Chain A
């Protein structure tokens, strides 16, 4: 506040004022002095002439008397004393002899004019024989002394020292200078006062601007000034007001941006994206947030019995509000999902929980389904959500599943319950389920046309064979092209579920000779082949499995990794029998029946055609529940034998379980070493 200017405006203005006045005074003074000098000279000349004439008049009488010097001396002396600036006062007779002079000693001598005199250039009117002479030091007037009869009696001469004239000029100059100084001082004073009056509002303006600079936009500048400075103050006040409005807008923008960031963060944390597998099903979720974050929700929630809850929802509100409803929805769903087997019942219960948090007119469209990887079926209900797209690989066409369900929270009075229904969709090999939010179907082209359902089906169908990720990626590309890469107006969320196209069929699907063969007869044949291993029913005894395998022609010739897989499968099956089959007094018996075809040098072909028979005499599984040893359904496999299950599924051709035969419980197993190789190729390729 106390900062001082480097050069005060006062100094600047006063310096300029002084300089201008000085220049003016110099110019005016020079002219004035010349004029003064002229005027004074003119006056001195006239006066000198007058005095000379007076002297001549007085001298006329005196020169006619006998003793003119007696009369003239006092006159001359008086004149000389009254005018000390006169250099001389002289009266001469017609002979040029001095008759009157201040100095009595020169009376009677001849009069000589001083040297260097020349006739003066003058405006005074000279009479006959009158002369006005001048030199550097003197101004001289000579006037003839004439009697009353006109007789020339002599001359009267008066000389004036020029120095006196210069003195008068200097005196006039001094006076003039004094006035100039007085005026100048007054001018400076006035200038100072005017400047002070002008600088005060500038100080007020400056203080105001400094306040604005420190961020105080509320205190206006109090300046009632009628000059331009007052206008300036008004302008600054207007500016501060505008700044304040802009500042408020900026703060609001920042708050909104922060809110959007929060909402987006919340959403991103909740929504699972990426790919998961569930048996031969691939599940893939993707989400793309709009600039104004919407309330889209997608989730995959495991259910205790191996099924998976899949859901996708769209809250009508946007921004943080919509996102909070979405969060509520996610929390409620997690709490409720185990309580209702029916998707319809779950959605109705969810609406009850959600309704109080929804504002009037706010609603949620929601798709909820339960996926069973064993049956590859989806039981679902849809509350006003976009139709479910099922791409049927076999037919190569879209099978749209539309329902009558209305959105959650939009209508009261049991209408949701009345319109919702549980539906079931079966997935065939290569089929693709595609459920999305309206951010996809309602994506607009610059021309205002919605992307629409048929285009979604076309794009998804064209990529269904390449898997769900490819289908989603293709749809994203198509949408970007459709909207000319404009940021989406609404969240785009999708959930895709694909069933593998490779016929990973369960054993029952293609009954082989193994299933059709009489198990007891097969067991007898295997025993008679001589490749039999009998072990006590203890896990420790299974160590004998490996040495026995090396004695078998075909299996022993397999590459190490294939042999190891075979060993693990057999170990798993035997261990399972020991652990869950109850008392095994007779021990377990494993027999190898080589392929019946022509002996081949290819061990893989030999092993593929051969089979193992595992016999035990423990408790049989209940046939009506487990008619075949289907790895996927065997409870023993489900309890902590996940890895073994996986290996068995990957490498065995077929497993058939025949409990309670006359020979005991028989497990028939055909093994295909090449199968594991194929799987490996598939996973890496």
Chain B
């Protein structure tokens, strides 16, 4: 459905989590993303959000990503955004948030960066 968000989580051999997101991150789907992301971060794993197939990010979606980012930061682990789509980049750009986030051009770049 166009209104939903599919989240597929994989664990890399290095123990990081790659979450591939597909669809819309909005008021309906953001809480789910936040909960699942927080659960992974609680266990101390680096999380890579592959945002290449995200078609829309609402303010609630931005809120969820930023909560995950700051949680990761507090825990001293990384949260990386891999290959964000134009929809994601433009929203983060308007809000001036891309200056803090760790953004990789591709998922493999992100994996290389964490040495996994």
Interface residues of chain A, those whose CB is within 8 Å of chain B, are 314, 316, 318, 360-363, 365, 384, 386-387, 403-407, 410-412, 415, 419, 438, 441
Residue contact A316 to B62, C-beta cutoff 8 Å: yes
Interface residues of chain B, those whose CB is within 8 Å of chain A, are 27, 30, 34, 59-60, 62-64, 66-67, 70, 94-97, 99-100
Q: Which residues of B contact A403 (CB under 8 A)?
A: 96
Nearest to B56 among chain A residues (CB) is A448
- Given contacts A316-B60, A316-B62, whether A384 and B67 have CB atoms under 8 Å apart is no
- Given contacts A360-B67, A361-B30, A361-B64, whether A406 and B59 have CB atoms under 8 Å apart is no
Question: Of residues B34, B60, B66, which shows the largest number of chain A Cβ atoms within 10 Å of its Cβ?
Answer: B66
Question: Of residues A318, A386, A405, A407, which shows the largest number of chain B Cβ atoms within 10 Å of its Cβ?
Answer: A407
**A384, B94: Cα distance in complex, Å:** 6
Residue contact B97 to A384, C-beta cutoff 8 Å: yes
| Nearest Cβ on chain B to A266's Cβ, whole angstroms | 20
**A15, B62: Cα distance in complex, Å:** 79
Nearest to B55 among chain A residues (CB) is A448
**A361, B95: Cα distance in complex, Å:** 14
Task: Say whether chain A's binding surface is mostly helix, strand, loop, or mixed.
Answer: loop
Task: Say whether chain B's binding surface is mostly helix, strand, loop, or mixed.
Answer: helix
Q: Which residues of A contact B30 (CB under 8 A)?
A: 361
Q: Which residues of A contact B34 (CB under 8 A)?
A: 360-361
Nearest to A403 among chain B residues (CB) is B96
Residue contact B27 to A318, C-beta cutoff 8 Å: yes
* Extra A-B contacts (13), CB below 8 Å, given A363-B63, A406-B100, A412-B70: A314-B59, A316-B59, A318-B27, A360-B34, A361-B64, A361-B66, A363-B62, A365-B95, A384-B95, A410-B62, A410-B63, A415-B100, A441-B94
Q: Which residues of A contact B27 (CB under 8 A)?
A: 318
Indicate which residue in B59, B99, B100 contacts A363 across the interface (CB closer than 8 Å): B59
- Given contacts A318-B27, A363-B63, A412-B70, whether A438 and B97 have CB atoms under 8 Å apart is no
Residue contact A362 to B95, C-beta cutoff 8 Å: no
**A172, B100: Cα distance in complex, Å:** 115
Residue contact A410 to B66, C-beta cutoff 8 Å: yes
| Nearest Cβ on chain B to A401's Cβ, whole angstroms | 13
**A411, B62: Cα distance in complex, Å:** 12
| Nearest Cβ on chain B to A204's Cβ, whole angstroms | 45
| Nearest Cβ on chain A to B101's Cβ, whole angstroms | 10
Closest 8 CB pairs of A and B: A361-B63, A316-B59, A384-B95, A361-B67, A360-B67, A406-B96, A404-B96, A410-B66
**A411, B101: Cα distance in complex, Å:** 11
Q: Which residues of A contact B97 (CB under 8 A)?
A: 384, 406, 410-411
Nearest to A438 among chain B residues (CB) is B94
| Nearest Cβ on chain B to A418's Cβ, whole angstroms | 10
| Nearest Cβ on chain A to B85's Cβ, whole angstroms | 13
